[in-house]
């Protein structure tokens, strides 16, 4: 479930519509985790309190950003927020921002059109139809892409106050929760910054926003033989099995334990160096020392890198052994963040040499929802080459996990 931060300035009727939508299931893909107001007297703050939602008063963009960065929402919703946001704020926020406006954009919108002023302008113009619009926020007031609109007729006896009320009840409160739900459904935790045709094998280690350790391991394959593998659980460990007999591969390159648990340490690798690390540490050795006895795989012409990771109570490490050298990286746990390392940078034409992963392991965002994270990663791996994926989320010393296999056992 996505985390939603709501910015408000006044009474919070649209905030209440979102809260009600959460209760009745209309808004189910996101949850309001923070309400922020630039007005300390806004009744919206009381609505948040009454619903058990944390709230804060932040009057400047810098103060708002400080709150935002503290809760790390997936989406920001403006529900009657009477302040034009700058491009700097939008860029700094780094997540989709959506707004509800009480007219049919592009009519009666932009700077100066807010609250009753919109409805006064509608009545003065003599138009017969008005309504509300939900749109993405950019640096142009009310200028972002339209997400949803709903209209209603302007009645002959309408006043600005009665029109405002009818637009809220019949348009805003109807489309706003549904639009937020629609946007939430479109947002997924992207692991790869661009479509990844072929990453080979990959490891993710890190922590979810709630402070639980998270790991993932995946394998991809291009040939029939490399695709004929599945993951299986073996106690707390993970093993690989073949789904067909094949004598064309070195068993050590395709059959190994990707994950082994040694006390409070979790070892994840793309080969039999899992056992090298496990055996060394069992007798007092180190992650780095064990890997210095190994090198890249002998699968010319690719010479696939050996990637490895270890998760300890105090931090996580990753390593890649390739022809260019042996590299080691060490990280503290950061809530909501992880590191991704994989064997190949991208796919090549048949017969070409696969290029090794370059640079430091990439930072990735990790959500609290394990199923959402796992399903999104599985989709990103693509139907053409994905073989298997294993994801594990810890809550203290216990864990839940998710396993995907393209082939059946």
Q: Is the pLDDT of residue 193 over 90?
A: no
Q: Are the C-beta atoms of 3 and 22 separated by less than 8 Å?
A: no
Number of domains in the chain: 2
How many other β-carbons are positioned within 10 Å of the β-carbon of residue 287? 21
Q: Which helix (H) or strand (E) holds 7?
A: strand 2-8
**Assigned domain for 194 exists:** no
Domain shared by 11 and 159, yes or no: yes
d(CA 310, CA 216): 12
The pLDDT value recorded for residue 386 is 94
Domain shared by 170 and 210, yes or no: no
Domain boundary among 186, 210, 228: 186
How many other β-carbons are positioned within 10 Å of the β-carbon of residue 369? 18
Domain shared by 346 and 246, yes or no: yes
**Assigned domain for 124 exists:** yes
> How many residues does this entry show for the chain?
409
Query: Torsion angle, CA of 238/241/243/245, rounded to 10 degrees?
Result: 170
391 SS3 class: strand
**Assigned domain for 351 exists:** yes
The pLDDT value recorded for residue 369 is 86
Q: Is 342 known to be catalytic?
A: no
Domain shared by 222 and 260, yes or no: yes
Domain shared by 163 and 296, yes or no: no
Q: What is the mean pLDDT of residues 241-259?
A: 74
For residue range 313-336, list pLDDT tens digits in order. 999 999 999 999 999 999 999 998
**Assigned domain for 193 exists:** no
Higher pLDDT, 47 or 368: 47
Q: What is the mean pLDDT of residues 173-200?
A: 84
**Assigned domain for 86 exists:** yes
d(CA 331, CA 287): 14
CATH number for the domain that contains residue 288: 3.60.20.20
**Phi and psi (nearest 5°) for 20?**
-65, -40
In degrees, rounded to 5, the angle at the alpha carbon of residue 56 between the alpha carbons of residues 363 and 84 is 80
**Assigned domain for 126 exists:** yes
For residue range 51-73, list pLDDT tens digits in order. 999 999 999 999 999 999 888 89
**3-class SS string, 328-389:** EEEECCCCCEEEEEECECCCCCCCCCCCECCCCCEEEECCCCHHHHHHHHHHHHCCCCEEEE
**Assigned domain for 273 exists:** yes
Domain shared by 158 and 62, yes or no: yes
65 SS3 class: helix
Name the DSSP class of 69. H
Domain boundary among 153, 186, 219: 186
Share in percent of the chain as helix, strand, coil (round to 5): 25, 30, 40
- What are residue 99's DSSP bridge partners? 78, 135
d(CA 54, CA 68): 12
Residue range of the domain that includes 160: 2-186
* Backbone dihedral region for residue 182 (phi beyond 0: left; psi -120 to 50: alpha; all else: beta): alpha
Domain boundary among 186, 216, 240: 186
Domain shared by 159 and 206, yes or no: no
Residue in the block written with tokens 């400080």? 66
**Assigned domain for 370 exists:** yes
Q: What is the mean pLDDT of residues 206-217?
A: 95
Domain shared by 207 and 171, yes or no: no
As a whole number, the mean pLDDT across the chain is 92
Q: Is the pLDDT of residue 215 over 80?
A: yes
296 SS3 class: coil
Q: 101, 119, 316, 342: which one is catalytic?
A: 101
- Give the helix ranges, DSSP H, for 151-237: 160-167, 173-186, 224-227
CATH number for the domain that contains residue 164: 3.40.50.170
Query: Torsion angle, CA of 65/74/194/198, rounded to 10 degrees?
Result: 130
Cβ burial, residue 207 (10 Å; 0-12/13-18/19+): buried
Name the DSSP class of 171. I
Q: Which helix (H) or strand (E) holds 118?
A: helix 116-125
Distance of CA 159 to the CA centre of its chain: 45
Q: Are the C-beta atoms of 336 and 209 separated by less than 8 Å?
A: yes
Domain shared by 236 and 170, yes or no: no
Domain shared by 291 and 245, yes or no: yes
Query: Torsion angle, CA of 281/284/288/293, rounded to 10 degrees?
Result: -80
d(CA 248, CA 241): 15
The pLDDT value recorded for residue 4 is 94
Residue in the block written with tokens 């334990």? 257
The pLDDT value recorded for residue 211 is 94
Domain shared by 243 and 307, yes or no: yes
d(CA 42, CA 7): 11
d(CA 269, CA 305): 11
For residue range 340-351, list pLDDT tens digits in order. 999 998 776 666
Domain shared by 22 and 135, yes or no: yes
């Amino acid at each position: 479930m996505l985390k939603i931060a709501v910015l408000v300035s006044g009474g919070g009727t649209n905030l209440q519509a979102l809260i009600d939508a959460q209760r009745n299931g209309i808004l189910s893909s996101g949850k309001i985790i923070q309400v922020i107001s630039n007005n300390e007297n806004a009744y919206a703050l009381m609505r948040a309190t009454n619903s058990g939602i944390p709230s804060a008063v932040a009057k400047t963009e810098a103060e708002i950003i400080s709150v935002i960065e503290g809760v790390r929402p997936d989406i920001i919703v403006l529900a009657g927020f009477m302040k034009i946001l700058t491009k700097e704020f939008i860029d700094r926020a780094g997540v989709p921002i959506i707004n509800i406006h009480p007219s049919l954009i592009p009519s009666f919108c932009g700077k100066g059109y807010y609250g009753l002023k919109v409805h006064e302008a509608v009545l003065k113009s003599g138009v017969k139809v008005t309504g509300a619009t939900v749109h993405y926020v950019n640096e142009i007031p009310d200028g972002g892409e339209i997400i949803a609109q709903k209209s209603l007729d302007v009645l002959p006896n309408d006043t600005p106050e009665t029109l405002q009320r009818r637009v809220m009840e019949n348009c805003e409160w109807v489309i706003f929760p549904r639009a937020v739900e629609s946007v939430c459904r479109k947002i997924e935790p992207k692991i790869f910054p661009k479509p990844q045709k072929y990453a080979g094998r990959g490891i993710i280690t890190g922590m979810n926003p709630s402070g639980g350790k998270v790991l993932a391991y995946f394998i991809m394959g291009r040939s029939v033989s490399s695709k004929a593998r599945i993951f299986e659980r073996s106690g707390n460990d993970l093993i690989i099995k073949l789904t067909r007999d094949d004598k064309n591969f070195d068993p050590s390159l395709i059959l190994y334990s990707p994950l082994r648990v040694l006390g409070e340490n979790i070892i994840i690798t793309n080969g039999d160096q899992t056992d090298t690390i496990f055996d060394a540490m069992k007798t007092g050795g180190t992650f780095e020392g064990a890997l210095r006895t190994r090198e890249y795989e002998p699968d010319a012409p690719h010479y696939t890198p050996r990637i490895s990771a270890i998760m300890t109570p105090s931090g996580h490490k990753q390593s890649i052994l390739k022809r260019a050298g042996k590299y080691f990286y060490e990280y503290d746990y950061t809530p909501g963040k992880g590191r991704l390392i994989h064997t190949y940078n991208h796919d090549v034409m048949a017969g070409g040499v696969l290029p090794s992963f370059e640079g430091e392991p990439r930072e990735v965002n990790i959500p609290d929802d394990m199923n959402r994270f796992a399903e999104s990663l599985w989709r990103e791996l693509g139907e053409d080459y994905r073989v298997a994926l294993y994801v594990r989320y810890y809550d203290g010393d216990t864990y839940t996990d998710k396993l995907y296999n393209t082939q059946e056992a």
